[in-house]
Every structure is written in structure tokens, then in C-alpha cells.
Amino acid sequence: MIAWKSTNRVAVSVFLAIAILLTLTGLFMTGACIGVLLGVLGPPRTALQFVAPYPLLLLGVLNIILFGSASIQTTGRLLGKRHPALFLTRDGFKDVRISPEWIPWSTVLSLSEYRGAGIIEGLILDVDPQFVRKLRLGFVIRFARMGNRLFGYRGLWVDTFPLENMSTRALLEIMRDRIERGTPSTRSSNLITP
């Protein structure tokens, strides 16, 4: 079995700071909308001024929920113990950031790479939809999948930038080899297995 640790603490710290800032922005926006609706700034003069805070209030609440949950999850990753995040075996893989369950290679229909700023930032695995429905996915992963589908990415996203001891290109080759042949890659024999 091959395992990779997820440890890029600087990137996680920056993400946490941004998520906290966006959560606070959502709190301010929600508070401002409630203040307008309660008449703290004076009574609304027109019907449009009375209706306008409602969509912003909804947006503020969604902001608090989304970025607040991301802040909580990121704090756990930053302060928690380091542990392997991605496991590969002959039969399948498990990314604990996606699901605690193993995903067999036989359910992976295709594999593609996502490029951002000229480098590979992630792998997109198109997994059998019936199998994905059975997976226990967390709220954040389900929400991220909905957003990815809006941009045309249907599969599961394996984030590769925080992985510590292997390049994304090598991981892509090993996964493609295991999907196509169903056997371990010859490159994996020289990797250290915890």
C-alpha cells in the first residue's frame, strides 16, 4: 500500500485566514441587512429599498454557512495530527478528504487532470454514479461537487497540491496504470510504504 500525507501547513493557514475573513464579512452583511430591515437606518422610502435587503440577507447567511464550515474544517486540519490522506492499493484507493470508504478501480470510468496556472492542481476521477450515491460524502464535499458540476467537472476531485512526497504527474501515471491494467505500477515499487 502507498500512502501520502497532506501537510502543506502554510497553504492551510492562508486558506483558514481567508475563510475566517469571509465568514466575518458574511456576519457583517447579515447584521447590516437585519439593521436595515429593523429600521436602524431609518424607514425605507420606497418599496425597492424595503425588498433589496432580503436577497443580501440570504447571501450573507449562505456566506456564514459556507465559509464558517470551511473555517471549522480547516482549523481541524491545521491543528490536528498529521496523517496519511491518500492510500493506493492494487484493488482501489481511499482519499480520507473525500470519503472514509475505499473506491475500487473498477468503478473509475475515466481520469483527467485539472490545470490551473499551467500546473496540475488536481485529478478528476469520473466514478460510476451508482457507486458515488452509496459513498458517505461529507457536507463540504457534496457542496463542492455541486459547484464542480456547474463548471463541467462531474467526477470526484483528488486535490494534489498539499500531498507531500510525490509529484502530481507521477500520481497521475500510477492511477492511470492501475485503472487501465488493474495491476500495481512498476514505479510504485521504489516508493517508501509506511
Q: Higher pLDDT residue, 111 or 77?
A: 111
Q: 59-106: per-residue pLDDT in tens?
A: 888 888 878 877 887 787 777 777 777 888 888 888 888 888 899 988
Q: What is the domain partition of the chain in residue ranges?
A: 2-79, 86-187
* Residue 22 scores a pLDDT above 80: yes
SS3 72: helix
